[in-house]
Structures are given as structure tokens and as C-alpha cells.
């Protein structure tokens, strides 16, 4: 724990969620401390007792899910190109070369690589973390079937939250898995968003910049839970907790007493 404290003074990012129903979700893992969407970031989320750990999935050329935010590998790795044009074998040769405190997690004998969906889910099971999976652009809607099947194989389907900006993907998911938790990602909660969520039993994942207490109250009145992204300021988190937010997605805020 002392290493983590030295890295970012993480004790300064504590928030008190006791007595509330708010659950914290680590955005791309504990990405304020370790490189985003990597096994170190997911492991740290487990060690810091988050409710859930969010990730992004992309599909390789040969149909495998890997955990990565961008379509392009340029920003985070030692190569250039797009995930969709690479096989899984090619993706697994890439090294993560940027991200929070990358120097603490890499050495001559230790590299950080792009995880598979299965590796991510293994960490979720290890720490009893809820998988919160953002579906980016997939090659085929049949890939949604494969995602549901994989979650079932890990006995995590009913413990997962699947999120996306793409309503078509979410509607497909609802047909495949009637009881799964689904969140529709939006920049702002408007009447049409609430109507869609009400119709398909979606919850909402809203941009914190455009989120206020009255939005949360209206959603709760319609039996819709509210998540928000991405909150790293304690005063904003405290406001949302008092407003009875259901989830907060964050890069570094935590509720673990160190």
C-alpha cells in the first residue's frame, strides 16, 4: 500500500460513501494510478474494494474480444494500427508504453500488455468485482452473442453491467439477456432518453457535467438507476452522493480507509 501512496498520494482521493447506496466503479480500472484497461489497473481496483471495474472492449480481426479503449493502438502502445485489423496473436505482442505511472509497472523483465476479455473477467471473479463493460464498435451484432456467452461461462452474466452509447447494441442485449443490467450512456438526461430507458428497462450512465439532482430524482421516480462518468473531484462526488446517485464512475476516487 505504501507504493500506491507514494505514486499519487491516493489518500487524498478518499470519499465517504458509508450510509449511502452509492457504489463506486473504477473507470478503466484504477486508471488514475495504473495504465488504463490493464491487468494492474484492474487488480488495484480489486485491492481498493470497488464495487465494479469498468472496461472497454474491441473485437480483433479473428473475432476475439480484447480490452482496449481506442480503435487505434497508437496512443497506448509501441506500434500503430487498428485492433480490428489485427489478430489476437498480433495484439498480444503489443506492449503498453503510456498511461498513469507506467514506469512503476514495466521493467526489462516485465511488460504490460493488452488483456483479453477472459483475463479481465478472471480478475473480476478473483476480487468479486462487478464487470462494467462498455461495448464500442463491434464488427457484427453476432459479437454481442459471443459476449453474453463468455459472461455466462464465467458465471458473471447476472453480476455484470453492460453499457454503450449505441442503443441498437443495447436492444440486442436486452433480447438475449432479459435480466442483465444495462446502462444507456448519454451526455445529458432528456425526456426521450428516459422514455427509451423506461421502455427497454435500461438504466442511465450520464455525463457528470450535465447531471443535477432533479435528473436523478426524475429517474428514480421512473425506477431508473443512475450512473455518472467520470468524476474525480471530491466536491462533485459529495454533491452526487447527497443527491442519491446510484453509481459513480471514477479514475481515482475511492472509499477504502487506508
Q: Residues with Cβ < 8 Å from 216, sequence gap 6 or more?
A: 226, 240, 243, 244, 245
pLDDT tens digits, one per residue of 38-54 = 999 999 999 999 999 99
Superfamily of segment(s) 24-250:
Phosphatidylinositol (PI) phosphodiesterase (3.20.20.190)
**Hey, what's the torsion of the CAs at 42, 45, 51, 54, to 10 degrees?**
-40
Question: Which candidate, 230, 174, 232, 175, places its Cα nearest to that of 203?
Answer: 174
| Domain boundaries, given as residue ranges, for the chain | 24-250
pLDDT number for residue 137: 77
Q: Above 60 in pLDDT, residue 8?
A: no
Mean per-residue pLDDT, 187-209 = 98
SS3 of 4, please?
Answer: helix
pLDDT number for residue 2: 46
Q: Quick one: what percent of the chain has pLDDT higher than 90?
A: 90
pLDDT number for residue 109: 81
Query: At 7, is the pLDDT very low, low, confident or very high (cuts 50, 70, 90)?
Result: low
pLDDT number for residue 127: 98
Residue 194 CA: distances (Å) to CA of 162, 172, 177, 223, 247 = 18, 19, 21, 10, 17
Tell me which of 95 and 8 has the higher pLDDT: 95
Query: At 258, is the pLDDT very low, low, confident or very high (cuts 50, 70, 90)?
Result: confident
Tell me which of 175 and 109 has the higher pLDDT: 175
pLDDT tens digits, one per residue of 126-156 = 999 999 999 987 767 789 999 999 999 999 9
Mean per-residue pLDDT, 93-109 = 92
pLDDT number for residue 3: 52
* CA 27 – CA 24 distance, rounded (Å): 9
Amino acid at each position: 500500500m505504501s507504493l500506491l501512496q507514494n505514486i499519487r498520494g491516493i489518500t487524498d482521493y478518499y470519499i465517504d460513501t458509508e450510509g449511502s447506496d452509492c457504489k463506486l466503479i473504477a473507470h478503466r480500472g484504477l486508471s488514475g494510478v495504473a495504465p488504463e484497461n490493464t491487468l494492474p489497473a484492474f487488480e488495484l481496483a480489486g485491492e481498493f474494494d470497488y464495487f465494479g471495474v469498468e472496461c472497454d472492449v474491441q473485437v480483433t480481426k479473428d473475432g476475439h474480444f480484447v480490452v482496449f479503449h481506442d480503435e487505434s493502438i497508437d496512443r497506448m502502445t509501441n506500434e500503430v494500427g487498428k485492433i480490428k485489423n489485427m489478430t489476437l496473436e498480433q495484439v498480444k505482442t503489443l506492449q503498453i508504453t503510456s498511461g498513469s505511472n507506467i514506469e512503476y509497472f514495466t521493467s526489462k523483465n516485465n511488460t504490460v500488455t493488452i488483456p483479453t476479455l477472459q483475463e479481465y473477467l478472471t480478475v473480476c471473479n478473483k476480487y468479486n468485482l462487478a464487470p462494467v463493460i462498455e461495448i464500442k464498435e463491434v464488427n457484427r451484432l453476432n459479437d454481442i452473442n459471443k459476449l453474453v456467452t463468455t459472461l455466462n461461462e464465467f458465471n458473471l452474466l447476472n453480476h455484470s453491467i453492460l453499457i454503450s452509447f449505441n442503443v441498437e447494441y443495447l436492444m440486442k442485449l436486452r433480447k438475449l439477456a432479459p435480466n442483465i443490467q444495462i446502462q444507456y450512456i448519454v451526455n445529458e438526461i432528456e425526456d426521450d432518453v428516459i422514455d427509451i430507458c423506461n421502455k427497454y428497462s435500461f438504466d442511465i450512465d450520464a455525463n457528470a457535467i450535465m447531471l443535477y439532482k432533479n435528473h436523478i430524482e426524475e429517474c428514480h421516480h421512473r425506477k431508473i438507476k443512475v450512473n455518472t462518468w467520470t468524476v474525480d473531484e471530491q466536491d462533485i462526488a459529495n454533491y452526487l452522493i447527497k443527491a442519491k446517485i446510484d453509481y459513480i464512475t471514477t479514475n481515482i476516487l475511492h472509499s477504502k480507509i487506508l
